[in-house]
């Protein structure tokens, strides 16, 4: 969970560049590896944060308190020959989102 100052900056970046954000998390590769960023209730506000309209196209992502993308590794994955490839794919797929977030915080 980013500190409030950084979360504000990330939300602003998502709002200003929603098309880019959506293309990252909506890409075929991201969806196949992660599905989406987490929308679990514990990581999400019930309403759009102050300063944003409720009908904002990015509203569901602006409500997020944390941007979590998870991949499941089974016990059998940890000893498989495909572990390295699966791990590298996961990181390569996540990199555009990390770059987006990093740009927002600077």
Among the listed ranges 2-6, 24-28, 39-43, which one has the minimum average pLDDT value?
Answer: 39-43
CA distance 106 to 90: 25
Q: What would the two tokens of residue 42 be?
A: 């514990």
Ordered DSSP codes for 60-87: HHHTBSS--------GGGGGSTTHHHHH
DSSP state at residue 27: S
pTM assigned to the model: 0.88
* pLDDT tens digits along 29-88: 999 999 999 888 888 999 999 999 999 999 999 999 999 999 988 899 999 999 999 999
The answer to whether the beta carbons of residues 79 and 6 sit under 8 Å apart is no
- What are the structural domain ranges in the chain? 4-105
- Which of 103, 102, 25, 28 lies closest to 70, judged by CA? 25
């Amino acid at each position: 969970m980013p500190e409030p100052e950084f979360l504000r900056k990330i939300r602003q970046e998502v709002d200003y560049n929603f098309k880019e954000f959506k293309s990252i998390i909506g890409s075929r590769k991201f969806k196949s590896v992660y599905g989406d960023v987490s929308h679990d209730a514990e990581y999400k506000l019930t309403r759009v944060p102050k300063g944003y309209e409720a009908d904002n196209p990015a509203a569901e992502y602006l409500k997020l308190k944390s941007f979590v993308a998870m991949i499941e590794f089974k016990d059998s994955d940890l000893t498989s020959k495909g572990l390295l490839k699966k791990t590298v794919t996961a990181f390569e797929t996540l990199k555009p989102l990390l770059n987006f977030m990093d740009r927002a915080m600077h």
